[in-house]
Amino acid sequence: MGSEQIPEPPSTAATPHRAAAHEPSIAGTAHRWLRDRICDLWALLTDRPISLYAASVLRIGYGLLYLVFLLREFPHRDEIWGPGSPWTPALAQQLFDQTGWNSILILSDSRAYFELCYVTALVTSALFMLGWRTRAMSVLFAVVVTSFHARSIFMTDGGDNLILLMSLYLVLTACGRRWSLDARRDRLKAARAGSAPEPARSFRAQPLLDARTTLITVVHNCGILVIGAQVCFLYGSAGLYKIQGPTWGGGTALHYALNLELFQPWPALSHLVDEYPLVIAIASYLTVLLQVAFPFVLFGRLKYPVLTVLLGMHIGIAVLLGLPVFSGAMIVADAVFLPDRFYAFLPRLWRRAARRTETGPSAPGRATGSGFVPLQGRPARPGAPASEQPAAPAQQDTTTPKVRPRSGRA
Amino acid sequence: MRKTGWAVSSGIESADVRELQQSAPGPVPQQRHDEAARTGKPPLGARTVKAGLRTAVVLCLATALVHVVLVFLHVAPPNPVSKRYASQVNGWVFPLFEQNWRLFAPDPDSFNRKILARTAHTDPKGAVQVTPWFDLAAVDHSAVDHSVFPSHTSQNLLRRAWTSYVETHGGSDTARSERALMLQTYLRNIAVDRVASHSDGRTFEFIQLRVVTLPVAAPGTAAGTRPPAPTEDRLLPWWKVTSHGK
């Protein structure tokens, strides 16, 4: 968007100068300028898939998050999604008829069928996270998340809502190109093929294949655009609605949030924080300011400190208010705004850190408390290929939270 | 507008289907192949493919933009634009893209709720026995207490069932809509399940709820010394208990 504006001033400045004599050439310049902009946009859309690493981080993050969520609710699975739920299959069906939702879970009332669905959901989430046949898995994952969400619609919160939206959008993206089993397989295949010539394809098929590649790229780029816009809307509206509330303006909102018994897993900690009204006021204001500012800082370096503060805020929410799924979903969503070069930089950072810690105490212990859950699901599988690039990030990400801001500004 | 939306959406779907088939060969060898082919002259059908591709790309972009605009109108407060295009916005956004980001906004709740239940049982002699009040929400509070990862059944189940009940009923306890009736059934089922799992197999035919709303003390006031006076004490009617498949 910004770059579109740059060439404009010269063309408008030239207007009065040439206006009298060269009327048609101005139209020509404008036309050419417009055509160039359209070509730029076209190139941006079709040249290459943008943010492949971020898309993969989203895939890993949401796959892992949903897997953990499903496992967490294992003792309550029947109460939430099963035939024994107080929101009975009959009620769910009645609501679906009214709202247009649907769910694979109410196709049968049998307990065995439900258990099958639950296991399918676990397997789907795991395979989606690992990036095995990613495109097909992303469709399955979206079906699973939609079904489980719709079945328990009156038990969901903002985190579930965000995971649902992202699972739908991720279907559009090529989220299995990095840090995935698919990427590993392709790499192995390429290595095995070596320099052997490609089997010749008919010239007739070639344009179609090219077109398909372009189309995949375009759909991916549009998907990333939609995901980015969605996260901006989330923060923007959350912030703007808060501005309307007197307690946020008065700097006391967090006092009330900390005193809700349902969001108070550590009462002593909540009361301790609550004893510092200045901290409460500053945190309340910071929350609103960051949320409102979020969409506007994304196009500059400022986004790194903002994302870091948001990361801290979400970790705070996860611990103080006992909302880990919600916070995790938000942290993963934020990751979409980190560019590929940031993620490509991580392996180098890891190697450097590893070299340094070879002499010092072991690194993993330090990293476990990081709370930056999403990245840890990256497939660090035994038997991963020997090629450097993928093996390094698998362990590397544990240091992410600490190095994130620094590396961003570097 | 709606028409365009649907037409555009089909463009995206077809793109997905094609990509699905693509996942097997993998993108890497393909791209290498592309470059080899580009050196030659484009074959005859290429122009048609190119035109089709161009259309598809434009449709994709248009869908994405339309989606973003419609979601924006859905998320934004009601305004002349979203009112004017309400049917298009709702037709597109519901149900899958429904969203609400009023997280602790405009203000966080400033109260805690006790949701109490008692049951009645008619013994064979015809005498009615009523149990004392049992706090259903206290079950949730103790489940959340010292839990790193509280369950949705503690944080959302009863809380959202009650707020949804209030949304559909308002101040009265007679259900005036189908949705209200559904939520009444839901709330009753939750209460029955909770009471049943804490009452050592005692049977009961009727259940009654009572909701006590306790304010969170304003900051600075000496809170915690004595319980605050309830701002609302709502007694619901007795409901007949029917089993729901348990």
Q: Produce one character per residue of B65-76: b if its CB has 16 or more CB atoms within 10 Å, e if not.
A: ebbbebbbbbbe
ipTM entry? 0.81
Q: What is the DSSP letter of A104?
A: G
Strands B206-215 and B128-130 turn out to be unpaired
| Closest-CA residue of chain A to B101 | A238
Q: What is the pLDDT of residues A166-177, one digit of tens each?
A: 999 999 999 999
Residue A75 is classified by DSSP as G
Residue closest to B214 by CA, chosen among B200, B241, B240, B232: B232
Report chain B's mean pLDDT, rounded to a whole number. Answer: 82
Q: Residue B141 pLDDT more than 80? A: yes
CA-based nearest residue in chain A for residue B52: A211
Residue B218, pLDDT > 70, answer yes
pLDDT at A116: 97
Are the C-beta atoms of residues A56 and A337 closer than 8 Å to each other?
A: no
> Residue A15 above 70 pLDDT?
no
Can you tell me the mean pLDDT for A91-117?
Answer: 95
Least confident window among A169-173, A277-281, B34-38, B82-86: B34-38
Q: Count of CB atoms within 10 A of residue B189's CB? A: 23
What is the structure's pLDDT at A409? Answer: 35
pLDDT in tens, B147-194: 999 999 999 999 999 999 999 999 999 999 999 999 999 999 999 999
Would the CB atoms of A79 and B37 count as touching at under 8 Å?
no
**Does the reported pTM lie above 0.90?**
no
Beta carbons of A262 and B146 less than 8 Å apart: no
| Residue A76 with chain B: CB contacts under 8 Å | 151-153
Task: Report the residue of B144, B185, B192, B231 to disrupt the A interface, i.e. the one with the largest count of A CBs within 10 Å.
Answer: B144
Give the pLDDT of residue B203.
87
- What are the residues facing B128 on neighbouring strands? B122
Rounded to whole angstroms, the Cα distance separating B169 from B164 reads 8
Nearest to B97 among A165, A243, A246 (CB): A165
Chain B: give the shortest CA distance to residue A231, in Å: 11
The answer on pLDDT for A403 being more than 80 is no
How many CB atoms sit inside 10 A of residue B39's CB? 6
Q: Return the percentage of chain A with pLDDT > 90, whole number.
A: 69
Give residue limits of the domains in chain A.
2-46, 52-186, 226-337, 340-409
Q: Domain locations in chain B?
A: 2-93, 111-240
Structure tokens at A284: 């309340």
Q: How close does chain A come to B246, measured CA to CA in Å?
A: 6
Contact call for residues A104 and A143 (beta carbons, < 8 A): yes
Lowest mean pLDDT across A166-175, A176-185, B214-223: B214-223
B53 CB within 8 Å of a chain A CB: yes
Of A136, A233, A246, the CB nearest to B75: A233
Residue B244 confidence class, pLDDT cut points 50, 70, 90:
low
As a whole number of angstroms, the distance between CA A39 and CA B182 comes to 55
